[in-house]
Amino acid sequence: MTDAPPLSIRLLISWLTNALVLGVVAAVLSGVHVNSAGSLLLAAAVFGVLNTLFKPILRLVTLPVALLTFGVAWFFVSALMLVLTRDIVSGFFIHGFWTLVWATVIVWVVNMALDFIPGPWQIAGKRGRINRRRGRGSLRGAS
Protein backbone atom coordinates (compact mmCIF):
# COMPACT_ATOMS: atom_id res chain seq x y z
CA MET A 1 0.00 0.00 0.00
CA THR A 2 1.32 3.48 -0.86
CA ASP A 3 1.69 6.28 1.63
CA ALA A 4 -0.81 9.10 1.48
CA PRO A 5 0.60 12.50 0.53
CA PRO A 6 0.57 15.16 3.25
CA LEU A 7 -2.78 16.74 4.09
CA SER A 8 -1.66 20.09 2.67
CA ILE A 9 -1.01 18.49 -0.75
CA ARG A 10 -4.35 16.65 -0.71
CA LEU A 11 -6.19 19.87 0.22
CA LEU A 12 -4.42 21.86 -2.49
CA ILE A 13 -5.28 19.25 -5.13
CA SER A 14 -8.88 19.04 -3.93
CA TRP A 15 -9.17 22.84 -4.07
CA LEU A 16 -7.74 23.02 -7.59
CA THR A 17 -9.96 20.14 -8.71
CA ASN A 18 -13.02 22.01 -7.39
CA ALA A 19 -11.82 25.10 -9.27
CA LEU A 20 -11.53 23.01 -12.44
CA VAL A 21 -15.03 21.58 -11.98
CA LEU A 22 -16.60 24.99 -11.27
CA GLY A 23 -14.65 26.48 -14.19
CA VAL A 24 -16.11 23.85 -16.51
CA VAL A 25 -19.60 24.67 -15.20
CA ALA A 26 -19.03 28.39 -15.86
CA ALA A 27 -17.63 27.68 -19.34
CA VAL A 28 -20.50 25.41 -20.37
CA LEU A 29 -23.51 27.23 -18.90
CA SER A 30 -24.32 30.79 -19.89
CA GLY A 31 -26.26 31.25 -16.64
CA VAL A 32 -23.16 30.69 -14.50
CA HIS A 33 -20.78 33.64 -14.18
CA VAL A 34 -17.51 34.06 -12.34
CA ASN A 35 -16.15 37.60 -12.00
CA SER A 36 -12.46 36.66 -11.76
CA ALA A 37 -9.96 33.88 -11.18
CA GLY A 38 -9.94 34.95 -7.54
CA SER A 39 -13.71 34.50 -7.32
CA LEU A 40 -13.38 31.06 -8.91
CA LEU A 41 -10.68 30.01 -6.44
CA LEU A 42 -12.73 31.34 -3.52
CA ALA A 43 -15.85 29.53 -4.79
CA ALA A 44 -13.79 26.33 -5.10
CA ALA A 45 -12.59 26.68 -1.51
CA VAL A 46 -16.08 27.37 -0.16
CA PHE A 47 -17.57 24.55 -2.25
CA GLY A 48 -14.92 22.16 -0.93
CA VAL A 49 -15.52 23.14 2.70
CA LEU A 50 -19.30 22.82 2.30
CA ASN A 51 -18.95 19.41 0.66
CA THR A 52 -16.59 18.26 3.40
CA LEU A 53 -18.46 19.59 6.43
CA PHE A 54 -22.15 19.87 5.60
CA LYS A 55 -22.89 17.48 2.76
CA PRO A 56 -22.26 14.30 4.81
CA ILE A 57 -24.53 15.59 7.58
CA LEU A 58 -27.28 16.51 5.13
CA ARG A 59 -26.96 13.14 3.40
CA LEU A 60 -27.42 11.39 6.74
CA VAL A 61 -30.42 13.57 7.64
CA THR A 62 -32.02 13.01 4.24
CA LEU A 63 -31.31 9.27 4.15
CA PRO A 64 -34.96 8.23 4.70
CA VAL A 65 -36.13 10.52 1.88
CA ALA A 66 -33.25 9.37 -0.31
CA LEU A 67 -34.28 5.75 0.19
CA LEU A 68 -37.87 6.58 -0.79
CA THR A 69 -36.75 8.56 -3.85
CA PHE A 70 -34.00 6.13 -4.92
CA GLY A 71 -31.32 8.74 -4.24
CA VAL A 72 -32.94 11.68 -6.01
CA ALA A 73 -33.03 13.60 -2.71
CA TRP A 74 -29.23 13.58 -2.67
CA PHE A 75 -29.21 15.37 -6.00
CA PHE A 76 -30.89 18.27 -4.24
CA VAL A 77 -28.35 18.12 -1.41
CA SER A 78 -25.65 18.53 -4.07
CA ALA A 79 -27.58 21.41 -5.63
CA LEU A 80 -27.84 23.02 -2.19
CA MET A 81 -24.02 22.99 -1.92
CA LEU A 82 -23.89 25.05 -5.14
CA VAL A 83 -26.61 27.42 -3.87
CA LEU A 84 -24.73 27.99 -0.62
CA THR A 85 -21.50 28.57 -2.52
CA ARG A 86 -23.29 31.09 -4.74
CA ASP A 87 -24.75 32.84 -1.69
CA ILE A 88 -21.41 33.02 0.14
CA VAL A 89 -19.11 34.04 -2.73
CA SER A 90 -20.00 37.44 -4.15
CA GLY A 91 -18.23 36.89 -7.51
CA PHE A 92 -19.87 33.51 -8.28
CA PHE A 93 -23.34 33.58 -9.82
CA ILE A 94 -25.84 30.90 -10.83
CA HIS A 95 -28.93 32.38 -12.47
CA GLY A 96 -32.15 30.35 -12.45
CA PHE A 97 -33.38 26.98 -11.24
CA TRP A 98 -32.66 25.07 -14.44
CA THR A 99 -29.15 26.47 -14.61
CA LEU A 100 -28.66 25.19 -11.06
CA VAL A 101 -29.99 21.76 -12.07
CA TRP A 102 -27.63 21.59 -15.07
CA ALA A 103 -24.71 22.90 -13.00
CA THR A 104 -25.32 20.09 -10.50
CA VAL A 105 -25.42 17.53 -13.32
CA ILE A 106 -22.18 18.89 -14.81
CA VAL A 107 -20.43 18.79 -11.42
CA TRP A 108 -21.52 15.17 -11.10
CA VAL A 109 -20.42 14.24 -14.65
CA VAL A 110 -17.02 15.94 -14.34
CA ASN A 111 -16.40 14.28 -10.97
CA MET A 112 -17.37 10.90 -12.46
CA ALA A 113 -14.95 11.50 -15.35
CA LEU A 114 -12.18 12.43 -12.90
CA ASP A 115 -12.78 9.14 -11.10
CA PHE A 116 -11.70 7.32 -14.27
CA ILE A 117 -9.02 9.66 -15.66
CA PRO A 118 -5.63 9.14 -14.01
CA GLY A 119 -4.19 12.30 -12.53
CA PRO A 120 -3.10 14.03 -9.34
CA TRP A 121 -6.73 14.67 -8.31
CA GLN A 122 -7.00 10.97 -7.53
CA ILE A 123 -4.90 11.33 -4.37
CA ALA A 124 -7.39 13.69 -2.71
CA GLY A 125 -10.61 12.77 -0.96
CA LYS A 126 -12.61 9.62 -1.68
CA ARG A 127 -10.72 8.88 -4.91
CA GLY A 128 -7.44 8.82 -3.00
CA ARG A 129 -8.76 6.54 -0.25
CA ILE A 130 -10.15 4.10 -2.81
CA ASN A 131 -6.96 4.08 -4.87
CA ARG A 132 -4.71 3.72 -1.79
CA ARG A 133 -6.83 0.74 -0.71
CA ARG A 134 -6.32 -0.77 -4.16
CA GLY A 135 -2.59 0.00 -4.05
CA ARG A 136 -2.69 2.78 -6.68
CA GLY A 137 -2.63 6.55 -6.71
CA SER A 138 0.69 7.75 -5.32
CA LEU A 139 2.37 10.92 -6.52
CA ARG A 140 5.48 8.80 -7.17
CA GLY A 141 4.69 7.20 -10.53
CA ALA A 142 1.54 5.25 -9.80
CA SER A 143 0.43 2.93 -12.56
pLDDT tens profile 101-142: 999 999 988 877 877 777 766 666 555 555 555 555 444 333
* pLDDT given at position 55: 83
CA distance 73 to 65: 6
* pLDDT given at position 142: 38
Q: Is 83 strand, coil or helix?
A: helix
CB 106 within 8 A of CB 29: yes
* pLDDT given at position 81: 92
Share of the chain above pLDDT 90, in %: 43
Query: Which amino acid appears at position 97 of this protein?
Result: F
Query: Which amino acid appears at position 39 of this protein?
Result: S
* pLDDT given at position 122: 66
* pLDDT given at position 137: 47
* pLDDT given at position 143: 35
For residue 124, what are the contacts with CB-CB under 8 A and spacing of at least 6?
10, 11, 13, 14, 17
CB 28 within 8 A of CB 106: yes
CA distance 18 to 94: 16
CA distance 113 to 107: 10
**Spans in the chain with pLDDT lower than 50:** 1, 137-143
